[in-house]
Amino acid sequence: MNQKLKTILKITLPLILGVFLVWYSLQDVPLPVIIEHWHNADKLWVLFGVFLGLLSHLSRAYRWRFQLEPMGYNIRFGNSVMAVFATYLINYTIPRAGEVARASILTNYEDVPFEKGIGTIVSERIADVLVMIGIITLTLFLQFDFIYGFFIEKFQPLKMMLAVVALGLFVLILTRYIKRSTSPFALKIKKFIKGLLEGALSIFKMKNKWAFIFHTLFIWGMYILMFYVTSLAIQDLEGISTGAILIGFISASFSIAATNGGIGSYPIAVFAAFSIFGIAKDPSYAFGWIMWASQTLMIIICGGLSLIYLPIYNRKKGLKEN
Per residue in 273-308, pLDDT (tens digit) is 999 888 999 999 999 999 999 999 999 999 999 999
First-to-last alpha carbon distance for the chain, in angstroms, is 51
pLDDT on residue 135: 93
Q: Residue range 196-210: average pLDDT?
A: 69
Single pTM value for the model: 0.83
Query: Does 132 have pLDDT greater than 80?
Result: yes
Cα separation, 129 vs 285, whole angstroms: 27
pLDDT on residue 85: 95
Cα separation, 98 vs 60, whole angstroms: 15
pLDDT on residue 156: 59
Looking at per-residue pLDDT, the higher value among 113 and 154 belongs to 113
**Residue 88 CB contacts under 8 Å (≥ 6 apart), including other chains:** 57, 98, 261, 299, 303
Q: What is the DSSP letter of 155?
A: S
312 phi-psi bin (left φ>0, alpha ψ -120 to 50, beta other)? alpha
Q: Residue range 46-61: average pLDDT?
A: 96
pLDDT on residue 322: 43
Q: Residue range 309-313: average pLDDT?
A: 91
Amino acid at 246: L
Cα separation, 169 vs 166, whole angstroms: 5
pLDDT on residue 160: 57
Query: Does 319 have pLDDT greater than 60?
Result: no
Count, residues in the chain: 322
Looking at per-residue pLDDT, the higher value among 195 and 299 belongs to 299
Query: Does 221 have pLDDT greater than 70?
Result: yes
pLDDT on residue 154: 59
Looking at per-residue pLDDT, the higher value among 288 and 94 belongs to 288
Cα separation, 294 vs 302, whole angstroms: 12
Q: Residue range 125-147: average pLDDT?
A: 85
Whole-number Cα distances in Å, 111 to 20, 87, 105, 121, 263: 42, 18, 9, 16, 34
Amino acid at 8: I
Cα separation, 92 vs 222, whole angstroms: 21
Query: Does 177 have pLDDT greater than 60?
Result: yes
- Output the DSSP codes for 47-92: HHHHHHHHHHHHHHHHHHHHHHGGGT----HHHHHHHHHHHHHHHT
Cα separation, 270 vs 289, whole angstroms: 9
Q: Residue range 211-235: average pLDDT?
A: 94
Amino acid at 101: A
- Per cent of the chain over pLDDT 90 is 42
pLDDT on residue 223: 96
Query: Does 1 have pLDDT greater than 60?
Result: no
Tell me how crowded residue 247 is: count the other CB atoms within 10 A of its CB.
23
Taking the alpha carbons of 95, 30, 242, 39 in that order, is the dihedral positive or negative? positive
- Do 139 and 250 touch, CB atoms closer than 8 A? yes
Looking at per-residue pLDDT, the higher value among 79 and 189 belongs to 79
pLDDT tier at 238, thresholds 50, 70, 90: confident
Amino acid at 195: G
Radius of gyration of the chain (CA): 22
Q: Residue range 50-65: average pLDDT?
A: 95
Range with the largest mean pLDDT of 74-78, 171-175, 192-196, 294-298: 294-298
